[in-house]
Amino acid sequence: MYKTQTIKEKIVERYSSLVDNSDQFTNAVKKPLKQTFRINSIKGDKDKILNDMRNYDASIKKIPWCDNAFETDLTNLGSSIQHFSGQIYIQELTSMVPPLIVSNIIKQKTVLDCCAAPGSKTTQMAEIMNNEGHIIANDARHGRIKSLRGNLDRLGITNTTVTLRDFNSFPNTSADVYLVDAPCSSEGTIRKKNAVARKWRQHDYDRFSKLQKNLLKKACEMAPKGSTIIYSTCTLAPEENENVISQILDEEDIDLKKININGLKLDNGVTNWKEEDYNKEVKKCARMWPHHNDTDAFFLARMEKC
Amino acid sequence: MLKLIEKEKKDDIIKYCLERFGLRQKNLERYHWYEGSKNRIFIGPEKVKRINPESLGLCIFRLDKTPKPTTNFIQLFGEKINKNYIILNKTETVKICKGENLKKKIDVEAGFVALKYKSISLGCAHWNGEIIKNQIPKSKFCNINFL
Ligand SMILES: C[S@@+](CC[C@H](N)C(=O)[O-])C[C@H]1O[C@@H](n2cnc3c(N)ncnc32)[C@H](O)[C@@H]1O
């Protein structure tokens, strides 16, 4: 177990060869993140909710690349009436990206959220879907299912079925979109106070990588032709990102698609790491570096089943 | 565990929603209705074969001797509720969100009521003519700093 400061230094050092600007990266990692949230229009009109909030918080700013995301100088919006009534959800900006990239294909559709708890992305997708269609939100841990259930209740989500299962043994289920928001070493959350410090261990990369590959493989195997599979992690480690996608590309019948979001800077996936070459296609994956958009770090891949 | 609700029970709830809260049937039509353990009523998506759900949709009622709306229900349909609701002031809202009851003179029929702060639906309470008895689940209690 390391102190947060030591981990920050280790992470900066580990990725200095991958990053475009080491100084900016180092500075961004040291800077704490602002609290960000999104509005849950299932519980009211977006403008009305914002106006109500602006009565006590003049610092609210809109995030340019996400219609529904906002940042604030307040640190405890969890004690606001909007949070109590489910009109807002406090969420990291990076975590909002996976639902955003499928927002135009999930309305009235079926989504299988393979590792869903505590439900940030499930509830965001439900809002995008206007509480229609169907989300199956699965997680393997009972304790985390409880927080998922709490969030679904608070946000008034009616289009979701919750299942408690190791996804590796999930029954074959046909869906239009599969989201594998995989457990990971969480390095990307380094700007959050103590978020990584509790968990970070060097040797975890291999363990996570195996786990992630199995989960993604399972989703790819059950996905019908033409369906979309999203893989995401909140780590910078290529072992858990491009490495996993590269193996899946070699073994499964899938195409990798490029990801674009207006106004959001996304870096390409890396094709080589620690003397290992990956399938060249993994360039199409997207990396989010903390200094590019003033966020956490994040990784995304968008696949289509052939 | 979850089974489709019997038609009479569903009709009773729909009738209660209209009579008690003025909530029209059309707001409740698009859902599949289920009955779970402890007489809990859920609205949600269609059940998928071969999947054994932990839960499905949202718990909106408990059917004891009479229908009892949940805070989930009041919060979700609050905007459409036009009868038997109580608008609270700031101090009362803070107390209710903390889990307290309120003593207040109001002109509402005895029974379950919807609590609102301005147009924000807070949850369910029971009015017995003297006390507004908080029905918000403990797990939701919160010290509100911003309103
Ligand atoms: C990164 S978190 C998911 C966060 C979530 N998608 C959200 O946006 O709120 C990863 C989740 O994977 C779950 N998990 C780990 N192993 C799993 C498995 N074998 N099957 C299903 N879920 C698993 C963990 O319990 C954890 O909740």
Report the pLDDT averaged over residues B47-60.
94
| Ligand 1 pocket, mutate which of A115, A148, A180 (most atoms under 8 A from CB) | A115
| Contact yes or no for B145/A76 (Cβ under 8 A) | yes
Each residue of A35-47: pLDDT tens digit?
999 999 999 999 9
Three-state SS sequence of B48-90: CCCCCCCEECEEEEEECCCEEECHHHHHHHHHHCCCCEEEECH
Q: Which residues make beta-bridge pairs with A305?
A: A254
* Stretch 1-40 of chain B: residues touching chain A, C-beta under 8 Å: 30-31
Could you tell me the CA-to-CA distances from A1 to A14, A197, A215 in Å, in that order? 17, 7, 27
- Selecting from B45, B50, B146 the residue whose C-beta is nearest the C-beta of A57 gives B146
Known active-site residue A306:
no
Q: Does B135 touch chain A (CB under 8 A)?
A: no
A53 to chain B: which residues are within 8 Å by CB? 146
Residue A280 has what DSSP assignment?
G
Strands, E, within chain B: which ranges? 3-4, 32-35, 40-44, 55-56, 58-63, 67-69, 85-88, 102-103, 111-117, 120-127, 131-134
Which atom from ligand 1 is nearest to the alpha carbon of A98? 8
A305 CA: distance to closest CA in chain B (Å): 22
Q: Note the pTM of the prediction, 2 decimals.
A: 0.97
- Selecting from A81, A162, A164 the residue whose C-beta is nearest the C-beta of B144 gives A81
Residue B34 has what DSSP assignment?
E
Report the pLDDT averaged over residues A137-159.
97
Q: Residue A8's pLDDT is what?
A: 86
Q: Rounded to an integer, what distance in angstroms lies between the CA atom of residue A132 and that of residue B135?
A: 28
| Residue with the larger pLDDT of the pair A196 and A259 | A259
- Pairing type for strands A88-90 and A267-268 reads unpaired
Could you tell me the CA-to-CA distances from A274 to A15, A67, A114, A206, B81 in Å, in that order? 11, 39, 30, 13, 61
Q: Catalytic residue, from A66, A114, A115, A234: name it.
A: A234
Cβ distance of A85 and B120 shorter than 8 Å: yes
Q: Rounded to an integer, what distance in angstroms lies between the CA atom of residue A121 and that of residue A96?
A: 7
A166 to chain B: which residues are within 8 Å by CB? none
pLDDT band at A204 (very low <50, low <70, confident <90, very high): confident
Token output for A104: 């135009």
- Pairing type for strands A254-257 and A298-305 reads antiparallel
End-to-end CA distance of chain B: 40
Shortest CA distance from A54: residue in chain B: B147
Report the pLDDT averaged over residues B24-44.
96
Token output for A265: 């800077």
Could you tell me the CA-to-CA distances from A148 to A154, A181, A244, A261 in Å, in that order? 10, 14, 27, 27
Cβ distance of A82 and B79 shorter than 8 Å: no
pLDDT band at B1 (very low <50, low <70, confident <90, very high): confident
| Contact yes or no for B19/B6 (Cβ under 8 A) | no
Q: What percentage of chain A exceeds 70 in pLDDT?
A: 95
Each residue of A94-136: pLDDT tens digit?
999 999 999 999 999 999 999 999 999 999 999 999 999 999 9
- Selecting from A134, A150, A152 the residue whose C-beta is nearest the C-beta of B45 gives A134
Q: Residue A6's pLDDT is what?
A: 79
The DSSP annotation for A44-60 comes to: S-HHHHHHHHHTT-TT-
Half-sphere exposure of A204 (CA within 13 A, CB side): 14
Q: Which fold has domain B84-140?
A: 2.30.130
Q: Nearest CA to A289 among A262, A271, A273, A265?
A: A265
Cβ distance of B50 and A79 shorter than 8 Å: no
In a mutational test of the A interface, the residue from B27, B46, B47, B48 whose CB has the highest number of chain A CBs within 10 Å is B48
Q: Rounded to an integer, what distance in angstroms lies between the CA atom of residue A104 and that of residue A126?
A: 13
Token output for B43: 């609205």
Q: Rounded to an integer, what distance in angstroms lies between the CA atom of residue B45 and that of residue B57?
A: 6
Domains assigned to chain A:
4-19+93-305 (3.40.50.150), 34-91 (3.30.70.1170)
Q: Rounded to an integer, what distance in angstroms lies between the CA atom of residue A175 and that of residue A112?
A: 6
Task: Answer whether residue A201 shows pLDDT above 80.
Answer: no
Each residue of A223-271: pLDDT tens digit?
999 999 999 999 999 999 999 999 999 999 999 999 999 999 999 999 9
Instruction: Report the pocket of ligand 1 as residue ranges, CB < 6 Å.
Output: A 95, 115-121, 138-141, 144, 166-168, 181, 183, 215
pLDDT band at A190 (very low <50, low <70, confident <90, very high): confident
Q: Where are the domains of chain B?
A: 3-78, 84-140
Q: What is the mean pLDDT of chain A?
A: 95
Q: Nearest CA to B1 among B41, B37, B31, B38?
A: B37
